[in-house]
C-alpha cells in the first residue's frame, strides 16, 4: 500500500498552482481543506477537488471544509444556503428538545447536500465545546449550549445528519475550548479548572461522542493535565483523549498556523505528531509553510491508516432529502422560537 502523508493541507486559491500540484503528487497528503478563498461556484469547487484527487492519485482521501453555520461558514449566497448558528438549535431546545435535535439533524443533512456534489466529504462540525462564563467569544454561538448533556444530544443529531447525507463529521475542539479566555488564533489560552469540573462539563460531550470518525484538537493548555503544553502537542492530553474520553477515530490537530502554538512550522508539526496526533492540519495555503509541514509530518502510520479506513468506510449514499421542505421547516421553527411562539 502506498504511503500517505500524515497531513491535511490547504491551497492558495480557486485552482491548484503548479507547485501545489507537485507537492500533492509527491507527498500524497491525507486530505485537503477548503476556505472561502477557494470557493467561488459549485462548478469551480468541484474542479478543484477533482484536481486534488487527481494529483494525489486516489479517491481515498478527505476533503474538508468548515461549514458550521452562522458566522463560521466558507460557502454562502448566491450559490449556497447560509446555515443557522449552532446556538439557535440550543435556544430552540429550551422549548422543545426533541424538535431541536430533529432539526439539528435535518440542518446537517442540508449542509451535506451542499457539500457532497462539490467533492467535499468532511465537514468540521459539530463544535462540542461547552462555553463558560467569561470565556472569549471565539466559540460563542458556535456552541450549542452551556449544558453538556444538550451539547451531546445536538452533537449526536448533527453527526447523524451529516452521515445520512454522505459526509463525515469532525468533533471539535477536543477535549474542550469552551473555557478559553483568549482566542487561540491569536495566543495560547490557559485553563486552570480542576479535573472534576473538566470531566463534568468540558469532556462530557466528547466522551458521549467518542465513536465519531474524526476529531480536531484544541490549542489550549489544561494545567491540571500538562502545565506547559497545549492539548495538541501534549502526550498527556492526547493520552487522555484516547484512554479516558475513549476517542478511537482519526485525530487531527487544529490549524498549525494559529498563533497559540510556539515555534516554527517544523517544531509544531513534529511536536503534534510526537504527542500522538494522527494528522497535522495546516490551513492558510502558504507554500513555504506547507512544504515544511510536508517535510516533517511523516507518513500515516498503521494505526492512523486503520482509523482513516474506518472513517472512509462510514461514507455512504445519502438518504433522500426534499431540500425546499427541509429549509422551510427549519426556518419556520427557528423564526417561531425567536418570536417566543410555540414550536
Point out the residues that are catalytic: 185, 254
Query: What is the C-alpha to C-alpha distance for residues 277 and 8, in angstroms, rounded to an integer?
Result: 12
Q: Which positions ≥6 away from 316 have C-beta within 8 Å? A: 163, 166
SS (H, E, C) 197-242: HHHHHHCHHHHHCCCCCEEEECCCEECCCCCCCCHHHCHHHHHHHH
Q: How far apart are CA 112 and CA 25, in angstroms?
A: 28
Helices 148-164 and 97-115 pack at an angle, to 10 degrees, of 40
Which residue is listed with cell 426533541? 98
| Alpha carbons 181 and 190: distance in angstroms, whole number | 8
* DSSP β-ladder status, 280-282 and 5-9: parallel
Grid coordinates given for 306: 486503520
Residue 336, all three cell numbers: 417561531
Nearest to 29 by CA among 39, 21, 17: 21
Distance from C-alpha of 175 to C-alpha of 237, rounded to nearest angstrom: 8
Beta strands in the chain (DSSP E): 5-9, 29-34, 62-65, 122-123, 168-169, 171-174, 190-191, 214-217, 221-222, 250-252, 280-282
Cell of 303: 494505526
Amino acid at each position: 500500500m502506498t504511503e500517505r502523508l500524515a497531513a491535511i493541507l490547504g491551497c492558495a486559491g480557486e485552482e491548484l498552482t503548479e507547485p501545489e500540484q507537485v507537492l500533492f503528487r509527491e507527498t500524497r497528503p491525507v486530505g485537503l481543506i477548503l476556505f472561502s478563498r477557494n470557493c467561488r461556484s459549485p462548478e469551480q469547487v468541484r474542479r478543484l477537488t477533482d484536481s486534488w484527487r487527481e494529483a494525489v492519485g486516489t479517491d481515498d482521501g478527505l476533503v474538508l471544509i468548515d461549514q458550521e453555520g452562522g458566522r463560521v461558514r466558507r460557502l454562502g449566497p448566491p450559490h449556497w444556503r447560509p446555515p443557522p448558528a449552532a446556538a439557535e438549535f440550543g435556544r430552540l431546545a429550551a422549548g422543545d428538545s426533541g424538535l431541536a435535535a430533529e432539526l439539528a439533524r435535518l440542518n446537517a443533512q442540508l449542509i451535506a447536500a451542499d457539500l457532497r456534489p462539490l467533492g467535499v466529504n468532511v465537514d468540521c462540525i459539530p463544535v462540542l465545546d461547552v462555553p463558560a462564563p467569561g470565556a472569549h467569544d471565539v466559540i460563542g454561538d458556535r456552541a450549542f449550549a452551556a449544558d453538556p448533556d444538550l451539547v451531546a444530544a445536538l452533537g449526536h443529531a448533527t453527526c447523524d445528519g451529516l452521515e445520512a447525507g454522505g459526509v463525515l463529521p469532525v468533533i471539535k475542539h477536543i477535549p474542550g475550548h469552551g473555557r478559553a479566555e483568549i482566542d487561540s488564533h491569536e495566543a495560547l489560552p490557559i485553563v486552570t479548572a480542576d479535573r472534576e469540573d473538566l470531566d463534568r462539563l468540558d469532556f462530557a460531550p466528547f466522551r458521549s461522542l467518542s465513536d465519531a470518525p474524526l476529531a480536531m484538537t484544541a490549542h489550549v493548555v489544561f494545567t491540571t493535565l500538562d502545565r506547559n503544553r497545549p492539548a495538541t502537542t501534549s502526550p498527556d492530553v492526547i493520552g487522555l483523549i484516547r484512554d479516558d474520553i475513549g476517542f478511537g477515530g482519526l485525530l487531527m490537530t487544529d490549524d498549525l498556523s494559529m498563533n497559540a502554538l510556539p515555534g516554527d512550522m517544523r517544531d509544531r508539526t513534529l511536536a503534534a505528531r510526537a504527542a500522538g496526533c494522527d494528522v497535522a492540519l495546516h490551513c492558510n495555503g502558504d507554500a513555504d509553510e506547507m512544504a515544511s509541514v510536508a517535510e516533517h509530518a511523516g507518513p500515516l502510520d498503521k494505526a492512523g491508516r486503520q482509523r482513516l479506513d474506518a472513517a472512509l468506510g462510514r461514507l455512504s449514499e445519502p438518504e433522500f432529502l426534499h431540500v425546499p421542505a427541509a429549509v422551510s421547516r427549519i426556518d419556520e421553527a427557528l423564526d417561531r422560537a425567536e418570536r417566543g411562539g410555540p414550536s
